[in-house]
Structure 1
């Protein structure tokens, strides 16, 4: 399968496995328990770190920071630091992040439609607690 290096996917994989690359790239963006929820939360407006932390109340500070940095490195989230005391940081979606929102909306709709019960009528596990 695809191997990631520090600069992304190996060039050989991108060139020789084009039919797999698109899904592998998208899957890599969403790898991380909280990324889809972070993107969903940012889809309508920018938010400060503390607001995101309150929304994802069960996430550790380290995990949230890591997920935000990865989304920023992937070009989906922009981090804006205001030169104030105390410092203020806001996160918002980039153009690329906005282009990803239809995928997030489809995930939301799928979950609303099929998430209440599994096929054997057992309730699904709530990730948020």
Structure 2
């Protein structure tokens, strides 16, 4: 049985909408990983490394519902499914890169450990552009 909210979302500002669409632990990472092009589910899961199948499937479903990611199923045997960014999803990449640069610049002021660079991020450890 699918989860149903007791109350509808009450989004009153564009920032709330943005955080709802690509906020959370996995959504922004999925968008960044897909920024290089379409990937099959298994390749996407491998790139994400530490995500469970349930969390990845749920995040992909949310991103598809919000129009950020498209799912293409090929009628082949064995079945093949690819996920790719839509135009709307691709438009978030510069925003996410700016957040990454900002976080890289200020993370050390909050924590002694430097952030780990993900394989897809273009974070270079310098100041934001």
Classify the TM-score, shorter chain.
Answer: 0.7 to 0.9
Q: What TM-score, normalized by structure 1, do the two folds share?
A: 0.76
- Where structure 1 has 5 or more consecutive residues not aligned to the other structure, the ranges are none
Shift of 1:97: 0.5
Which of 60, 68, 71 does residue 60 from structure 2 map onto? Answer: 68
Aligned residue runs from structure 1 range 4-23, under 5 A: 5=8, 9-10=9-10, 17=12, 21-23=13-15
Residue segments in structure 2 that go unaligned for 5+ positions in a row: 1-6, 119-129
The reply to whether residue 122 of structure 1 matches residue 112 of structure 2 is yes
CA RMSD of aligned residues (A): 2.4
Where in structure 1 do 4 or more consecutive aligned residues deviate above 2 Å? Answer: 111-115
Matched residue count: 113
Deviations 1:70-95 (A, max 9, x none): 00001000000001111111110101
The residue number in structure 2 matching 1:98 is 90
More helix by share: 1
User: How far apart in 1 are the matches of 2:35 and 2:115?
Assistant: 25
Q: Secondary structure of 1:92's match?
A: strand
TM-score (norm 2): 0.76
Whether the 8 Å contact between 1:118 and 1:124 is mirrored in structure 2 is no
2:104–2:115 contact (8 Å) kept in structure 1? no
